[in-house]
Structure 1
Amino acid sequence: MAKTIDLVAAFDASPNPYMLLDRDLRFAGMNQAYLDVTQRTREELIGAHVMDVFGAAADGPGREDSQRLEASFRKVLGSGQSDHLALLHYPIRTTGAHGQAVFEERYWSCTHTPIKNDQGEVTHILQHTSDVTDLIRARPTQDGSGNALDEMLGGGVFRRALKVEADNQRLEAERRQLSDVLLNAPGFVAVLSGPDHVVQFCNEACYRLVNHRDILGSTVKEALPELGEQGHLDFLNDVYETGEPVMGRQRAFSLQHSPDGPAANRYIDFAYQPIRDENARVIGVFVQGHDVTDVVMAAERQKLMIDELNHRVKNTLATVQSIAMQTARTHQDPRSFAEAFEARLMALSHTHDLLTKSHWEGADLRAVLEHETLAHGVGRLSLNGPHIALSPARALSLGMIFHELATNAAKYGALAHGDGRVSVDWRVIPHASPQLEIIWSEKVGRPVKKPERRGFGTRLIERNVRHDLRGAVDMSYTEDGLSARFTLPLETEA
């Protein structure tokens, strides 16, 4: 306890002015020398904001000097390091001969030192000021008169102090500008210090990349352990040991988004570059780059789409070729061939249009039926069954089948007569391997004669069912007309 009293007494007895500010820049203490030089009382200052007491004033401190003083305080709070103002022009309020308040010209050299707690947090700022007014007044006059001592003690010191202060302000401005650029850079930026790669700086893009983990002040190995398992820590070690940069383009990174959650794969363009001191010795690594995952994924999707397009075009051309060859075998007359061939191409086109609307993700069975039978009148067809999702390949095959059935019905069957009707019913048969059953049933209203030969339409239907749909079909003629029963394995995914 006696030691504490001695320290307080020494602080108050010092002939040099000292004062103490808290984090809100309010006076927390000062010694007697400070009260004497500022002509203030302790009661007047304790708890008051320093800039409320010593801010800019008419005939007093200028706005620029006041801003420099406050900026120095803020810098200490932000950096945790001491700051110096080599020369500060700051008039002091005094009492004139008639009791009025006047300002006396003063020049100061200021040192602002952070006071920290056990956790290293800045809790207070200690200001030590030296009154250099007499030294400044001793500088040579403008006409150049004065001796060497005057120059040494006055003008030379004055000019050097101004130059140091100007350089400090310029460097601080440049530092702030650089910091702002790095903080707001669209790509990620980090500064790693020492052989252990301690994270000293990380901008917002970097925090987003690592899912806002608290990495500042930690080593890369501690903060991002998954990178070591992927070899990226070896890259950093190589840069630090050899002084040679390492570049990567669209390299895969697996980053953990939570301690227990799955890792997320990201593709990144990066550059690891050495940071050197004034002796050209490597003291850290500068990390910069961009997350290009969206670009890589877009390129992969584009390649997949092109491959899929090539596949579909080849399949479509093969289908068209088959339709042309089979139609030509059953139509010797060019005109009848053209009509039948065009009708079948239109059926294929209709199903393509239907699939395009769903971005080729598939189609509903009812929609395919409606598309292929719409031209024959909605009132003459009855469609009954649940929602069944079809893959693009199955939709194309069933579209061709329904087109052939509808065309046959319009030429020879139920739709060729005004009182004929067609019903299409479908259901799912719940076996161990579920089956899709479709029944096409025509009611002509008069006796129907079974065709004497099998045409192309019948062969196309049977081939599509067996080869493309891996199913079975039973086509028969009754007194009412054609009846076709299709049994297909049910697709589990459309």
Structure 2
Amino acid sequence: MESLSGGFQRAAAFVATTSPLLVVDTELVIQDANPAYVAVMGRTRAELIGAPIFDAFPDNPDDPDGRGSRQLEASFEAVFRTARRNRRPLHRYDIPAPHGRGFARKHWIVTNSPLRSQDGRVIGALHHPEDMTAVAELLAAPPEPGSAAPSTDEQLWRSLVATLAFEADGHRQAQRGVRELQRALESRVVIEQAKGVIAARNQIDVEEAFRRLRRHARDNNAGIHQVAQAVIDSRLVL
């Protein structure tokens, strides 16, 4: 299996998005983590880069089920096997608390998306965890003494609806950010591949190849991604 080491370039969107994102190679070694991910997990980027993901985030030994890592590993395996995005429903996966203070109880919804090399092979995954702990805890909360059962407790359900609405809005925004980043990464792969084709065909360096690609896009009022795809498909010769 191929490593992403040296082959993954940080995109501006990866750094700027508020969605927590992690990059792993096909050996499940962490290659990058954006600021939002670092903040959510309470870790430093230096602690994560180069670590196998399940060493960085082991199962909580006090969790009687302890299935978090197995579910996440199954998701990654599905991505690498099918080259398609895989989404895991709400599940518990505790994370190490800061300063070695045990584990913090957490529930997540996780989306993993394939990352491809210039020739289209899957060489890693983009990992997007959404912290749904607040919703999970609200769903599991017992009724207050003397109150009605949760099914008839109007205040509880009002709170639940408000929380779900908040989380759903955050989820939509996060998913939109991940889709935009995925498109940006895929576009970069296409452009890099087209640069290689132009450079090899004309015996020029890739910088000159990119200038030709960009000039053609500008002169023809076309998107550089569309021009690059036409070069790859042999519909355009530059």
TM-score under structure 1 normalisation? 0.28
Q: Provide closer, same or farther for how the CA distance between residues 56 and 92 of structure 1 changes in structure 2, counting only shifts above 3 A.
A: closer
Structure-2 separation of matches of 1:84 and 1:93: 23
Structure 1 residue 100 displacement after superposition: 4.5
1:425-464 to 2 correspondence within 5 Å? Answer: none
Q: Aligned match of 1:152 in 161, 167, 172?
A: 161
* Map of 1:16 onto structure 2: 19
Structure-2 separation of matches of 1:129 and 1:100: 22
Q: Is the 8 A contact 1:90 1:108 kept in 2?
A: yes
* Map of 2:36 onto structure 1: 33
* Map of 1:132 onto structure 2: 132
* Map of 1:53 onto structure 2: 56
Q: Aligned match of 1:69 in 56, 60, 72?
A: 72
Structure 1 stretches lacking a partner, 5+ long = 1-5, 157-494
Q: Provide closer, same or farther for how the CA distance between residues 131 and 50 of structure 1 changes in structure 2, counting only shifts above 3 A.
A: same
Structure 2 stretches lacking a partner, 5+ long = 1-8, 144-148, 166-238
Q: Report the aligned-residue RMSD.
A: 2.9
Structure 1 residue 52 displacement after superposition: 1.6
Structure 1 residue 93 displacement after superposition: 1.5
Higher strand share: 1
Structure 1 residue 135 displacement after superposition: 2.0
> Which of the two has higher C-alpha Rg?
1
* Map of 1:121 onto structure 2: 121
Higher relative contact order (CA 8 A, sep 6+): 2
Structure-1 separation of matches of 2:28 and 2:72: 11
Q: Provide closer, same or farther for how the CA distance between residues 15 and 62 of structure 1 changes in structure 2, counting only shifts above 3 A.
A: farther
1:180-191 to 2 correspondence within 5 Å? Answer: none
Q: Is the 8 A contact 2:60 2:95 kept in 1?
A: no
Q: Is the 8 A contact 2:87 2:110 kept in 1?
A: yes
Higher helix share: 2
Query: Per-residue CA shift, 1:223-275, capped at 9, x if unaligned?
Result: xxxxxxxxxxxxxxxxxxxxxxxxxxxxxxxxxxxxxxxxxxxxxxxxxxxxx
Structure-2 separation of matches of 1:13 and 1:61: 37
Q: Is the 8 A contact 2:67 2:93 kept in 1?
A: no
Query: Per-residue CA shift, 1:281-337, capped at 9, x if unaligned?
Result: xxxxxxxxxxxxxxxxxxxxxxxxxxxxxxxxxxxxxxxxxxxxxxxxxxxxxxxxx
1:252-271 to 2 correspondence within 5 Å? Answer: none
Structure 1 residue 138 displacement after superposition: 2.9
State the secondary structure of the residue aligned to 1:59: coil
Q: Provide closer, same or farther for how the CA distance between residues 34 and 61 of structure 1 changes in structure 2, counting only shifts above 3 A.
A: farther
Q: Aligned match of 1:42 in 41, 45, 56?
A: 45
Q: Is the 8 A contact 2:59 2:93 kept in 1?
A: no
Q: How many residues align?
A: 150
State the secondary structure of the residue aligned to 2:11: helix
Q: Identity, % of aligned pairs?
A: 29
Structure 1 residue 141 displacement after superposition: 3.6
Q: Is the 8 A contact 1:56 1:62 kept in 2?
A: no
